[in-house]
Chain A
């Protein structure tokens, strides 16, 4: 089975721009979660989507948004980029039999975003 894939792997953007990241979950997984990882703050939960609905949300400003499509693929959007948004953005998918964010999650390799 193919793992979680994320595109692009690397991205450089300028302050004020917006960015869209993409995640394709493992086939059959309906839950997709997004995380931000930085050296200072560690891994922080952004939001989780299940069957095209946002089910859980972390403590991030409204500039961070996401969506999930009917094929479970998910996108994350960050508008009005700030320097502090530079991070590794990780996507994780979960098995449909354990449809909560607490379940075993399989992570993708991440998208490394640099904001200049």
Chain B
């Protein structure tokens, strides 16, 4: 079993839809949780960074962490075609970083 599980998709939604991306993990030592967006032929770009359980909102993006369930989510409201990319969850503890496999999202106009 991988330490971080993420459904690779692909996920296709119409413009304006709410998108939910999720990851589960097994290592309870993980303390920091991140979401990255990666466009084709580019490096990952940090979207959200959280430390504790709860919600964090930034514009159309909301990151949710539930440490008791070892489950994190990223919600995208009013999705746009420009949101089409691969979304990677990442988590770390004591300097050790783990990434999910990435979910490929397509938002259709």
Contact = CB atoms under 8 A, between A and B. Distances in A.
Contacts of B97: 33, 45, 101-102
Contacts of B102: 42-43
B32 A102 contact: yes
A32 B48 CA distance: 20
B95 A56 contact: yes
Interface in A49-66: 55-56, 58
Nearest to B42: A109
A108 B95 CA distance: 20
Q: How large is the interface on A (under 10, 10 to 19, 20 to 34, 35 or more residues)?
A: 20 to 34
Interface residues of B, number: 23
Given A42-B99, A45-B96, A104 B44 contact: no
Contacts of A90: 43-44
Contact of B45 (A35, A45, A107): A107
30 contacts: A35-B99, A42-B100, A42-B101, A42-B102, A43-B88, A43-B90, A43-B99, A43-B102, A44-B99, A45-B96, A45-B98, A48-B95, A58-B96, A90-B43, A90-B44, A101-B92, A101-B95, A101-B96, A101-B97, A102-B31, A102-B92, A102-B95, A104-B34, A104-B49, A105-B46, A106-B46, A107-B36, A107-B43, A107-B44, A109-B43
